[in-house]
Amino acid sequence: MGVHAEHGRVVSGWRDRRLIDRLGIDAPIILAPMAGAIDDALAIAVARGGGLGSIPCALLTPDAARDQVARMRAAVRAPVNLNFFCHVNPPRGDDGTWRAALQPYYTEYGVGAPATPPPPRRPFDDAMCALVEDVRPEMASFHFGLPADALLNRVRATGTLVTAAATSVAEARWLAERGVDAVIAQGWEAGGHSGRFLPADPASYMGTFALVPQVADAIDVPVIAAGGIADARGIAAALLLGASAVQIGTAYLTCPESLIGPLHREMLGSEAAEATVFTNVFTGRPARGIANRLVREQGPISPDAPPFPYASDALAELKRADPADFGSLWAGQAARLARAEGAEPLTRRLAREALALLGG
Amino acid sequence: MGVHAEHGRVVSGWRDRRLIDRLGIDAPIILAPMAGAIDDALAIAVARGGGLGSIPCALLTPDAARDQVARMRAAVRAPVNLNFFCHVNPPRGDDGTWRAALQPYYTEYGVGAPATPPPPRRPFDDAMCALVEDVRPEMASFHFGLPADALLNRVRATGTLVTAAATSVAEARWLAERGVDAVIAQGWEAGGHSGRFLPADPASYMGTFALVPQVADAIDVPVIAAGGIADARGIAAALLLGASAVQIGTAYLTCPESLIGPLHREMLGSEAAEATVFTNVFTGRPARGIANRLVREQGPISPDAPPFPYASDALAELKRADPADFGSLWAGQAARLARAEGAEPLTRRLAREALALLGG
């Protein structure tokens, strides 16, 4: 293992080349698609570094996603991963209990809930599917399950590598039975929204260390490890546990190319990032981040928060008034392993150091 | 790395030999001390396989612990680890709410709570400390923090290697500041009682994958990784993450030498073991196990359960009447990676396979 010369050319020393070769990347490092926190700038830098750049589309219109892909295709000759949410929006219920819980903050800041709530964030749909058919990404990854068969079959027909997140062995089997080309094993450590989509006791979330080998044993397609991986040690360890590639999120959030604000950036490097929590107060679905005032006072899990994606509606003005106390500060459990560094050199360094650890 | 011949003798290829050499073991594999589930028989087998045998003393009298150590010393020339709980027993409060919650079960089984509750399980104390001074174990490990200084200093004076469990980076720093010789980084995946001892949000438990490298970075003494490690992949990965040794529990529970009953044994190999939960219903302190009726109906976290160790008192007769539904079925998240095999050959195989994965 390791980079070595063979017949006069340098051969990359990754042991499991299934995803590397299929995707056409140098290193088995995938930028985690962090909706709202990154755009094509980070994807381009990771691609230049030899990893797989991802564009999160969950908060984008199809046109905005198309623009980002176009910028990336113009900037770098490299594959791209487009990521989509596959949630099902329940009917919008009465969020009066949630507004009542937030009333003291409304009073404090002189704001309120919006009179007309915004349209809920849309899951992967016909328009997004048309975008996939049009731009033909090398990989399409799904969160919160998979789209309906009719849409999924159209995605498959483009020849893209189809993958989705699993937070349990049962979810990994479910995805494999539906023919995905790879499974993202997302451990408890991961920042942002858990991709959990099958009913299960919240007390049963599995850590990356236990999840990756059990998923690798349970299914025949390659496994992408996610959650808690923020340096070369994590990459090497994940590959030894049975992963074919890793997905890295928080470590890229600290790069200058990310879109997060200075407060979030500062928090990621602070001791507060050592004790991230799993909370539903920002969107209604459990997601991991640094605890701020809203989490401490209403969460981390509030029975009053309406179901995803509606919990965020009543927070909009509070978040504008005080993003430190009412905005989400997503972070995975390994945030403090991150070093602020350009995403291109970071990707190269991670690959080089991981290969060295693996005996290269 | 790997086993290789050097100057005519076989040299073990473990990269970090600090704990191996200090303890005098062949492989950096420590039997997790699982109180009530194992005794000297398993410790002897692990020691014969080249790992460190542990004798859990939390549920033993000093005399019973002394007997087990004597049997082990007579059976094998090897170091031993003695493990102790360092909890502080709060005053026994009124557990009426808990008994009321259990009343339907009492009625169903025709049993009740004991008229006179048993004495609470005692933390590490003068008598146990005298045992340590007498039998001089090569390692002493503590759970739920450390004993008071006066006791700890007596333990230290024996020359034993002192270690304790940390479930967060903050706890690891706390232990290192108090001069432990090694820290057990116990991740969210671990079966049985979490060693957590500093106040922290329950939502912040850290997975092994994130905890081990951050603890390794935060302190100067060796780290023992625990939680989710049940095969050679896990050992190799934990060492790459920065651990000097691993502690393995659930994978040894399936060995014929363990004391668990046939039901618990069968459950460890079933799909139920893929979704273990963190529950306080058996003792009052969060511990990981397979969900049975009591957990499903009253937990996993019940606000009615009295504080550790009192929750177990009211359960005693129910557990006797129906251990499947009311007994604890401790298991870590990697239970299904375990293979029923004698503990001695298992230890040797794990060491050999881990070295091979590490490039031996």
* Mutation site for A-interface testing, chosen from B171, B188, B209 by largest number of A Cβ within 10 Å: B209
Hey, are the CB atoms on A204 and B334 less than 8 Å from each other? no
Closest Cα in chain B, distance from residue A60 (Å): 30
Minimum Cα–Cα distance from B356: chain A residue:
A240
Q: Copy the structure tokens of residue A325.
A: 């106390």
Kindly tell me if the per-residue pLDDT of A284 is higher than 60. yes
**Chain segment A104-114, per-residue pLDDT in tens:** 999 999 999 88
This model's pTM is above 0.90 = yes
**Chain segment A165-182, per-residue pLDDT in tens:** 999 999 999 999 999 999
**Chain segment B297-351, per-residue pLDDT in tens:** 999 999 999 999 999 999 999 999 999 999 999 999 999 999 989 999 999 999 9
Hey, are the CB atoms on B277 and A242 less than 8 Å from each other? no
Q: Read off the pLDDT of each residue in A227-256 and give the average, rounded to a whole number.
A: 98
Minimum Cα–Cα distance from A225: chain B residue:
B209
Hey, are the CB atoms on A214 and B274 less than 8 Å from each other? yes
d(CA A250, CA A187): 14
Q: Is B116 exposed, middle or buried (0-12, 13-18, 19+ CB in 10 A)?
A: exposed
Closest Cα in chain B, distance from residue A341 (Å): 19
Hey, are the CB atoms on A213 and B227 less than 8 Å from each other? no
Q: Name chain B contacts of A270, Cβ cutoff 8 Å.
A: none
**Chain segment B183-221, per-residue pLDDT in tens:** 999 999 999 999 999 999 888 999 999 999 999 999 999
Name which of A1, A238, A278 is nearest B359 (Cβ-Cβ): A1
Q: Is A199 exposed, middle or buried (0-12, 13-18, 19+ CB in 10 A)?
A: exposed
Name which of A204, A214, A275 is nearest B334 (Cβ-Cβ): A214
**Chain segment A3-34, per-residue pLDDT in tens:** 444 444 444 599 999 999 999 999 999 999 99
Query: Residue A43: how many CB atoms within 10 A of its CB?
Result: 31
What ipTM was reported for this prediction? 0.95
Name which of A200, A209, A275 is nearest B187 (Cβ-Cβ): A209
Hey, are the CB atoms on B201 and A300 less than 8 Å from each other? yes
Q: Name chain A contacts of B203, Cβ cutoff 8 Å.
A: 277-279, 299-301
Query: Residue B270: how many CB atoms within 10 A of its CB?
Result: 11
Q: What percent of chain B has pLDDT over 70?
A: 96
Kindly tell me if the per-residue pLDDT of A211 is higher than 90. yes
d(CA A126, CA B21): 63
d(CA A237, CA B358): 10
* Mutation site for B-interface testing, chosen from A209, A281, A290, A298 by largest number of B Cβ within 10 Å: A209
Q: Is A312 exposed, middle or buried (0-12, 13-18, 19+ CB in 10 A)?
A: buried
pLDDT category, A360, cuts 50, 70, 90? Answer: low
Query: CA torsion B17→B21→B25→B29, rounded to 10°?
Result: -30
Q: Name chain B contacts of A236, Cβ cutoff 8 Å.
A: 237, 240
Hey, are the CB atoms on A237 and B203 less than 8 Å from each other? no
Query: How far from A100 is each of A113, A315, A324, A354, B55, CA to CA, in Å?
Result: 10, 12, 21, 50, 54
Name which of A170, A234, A358 is nearest B209 (Cβ-Cβ): A234
Q: Copy the structure tokens of residue B252.
A: 């040894």
Minimum Cα–Cα distance from B274: chain A residue:
A169
Q: Name chain B contacts of A207, Cβ cutoff 8 Å.
A: 187-189, 207-209, 227-228, 333
Q: Name chain A contacts of B208, Cβ cutoff 8 Å.
A: 207-210
pLDDT score, position A130? 98
Q: Name chain A contacts of B358, Cβ cutoff 8 Å.
A: 240, 359
Minimum Cα–Cα distance from B275: chain A residue:
A204
Name which of B228, B238, B336 is nearest A207 (Cβ-Cβ): B228
pLDDT score, position A285? 96
pLDDT score, position A276? 96
Closest Cα in chain A, distance from residue B42 (Å): 24
Kindly tell me if the per-residue pLDDT of B3 is higher than 50. no
pLDDT category, A85, cuts 50, 70, 90? Answer: very high
How distant is the alpha carbon of residue B286 from its chain centre?
A: 13
d(CA B261, CA B263): 6
Cβ-based neighbours of A217, under 8 Å, separated by 6 or more: A242, B337
Domains of chain A are 4-88+123-259+338-357 (3.20.20.70), 94-118+277-330 (no CATH)
d(CA A334, CA A269): 11
Question: What does the H/E/C string look like for A255-289?
Answer: CCCCCCCHHHHHHHCCHHHHHCEEECCCCCCCEEE
Q: Name chain A contacts of B240, Cβ cutoff 8 Å.
A: 233, 236-237, 240, 357-358
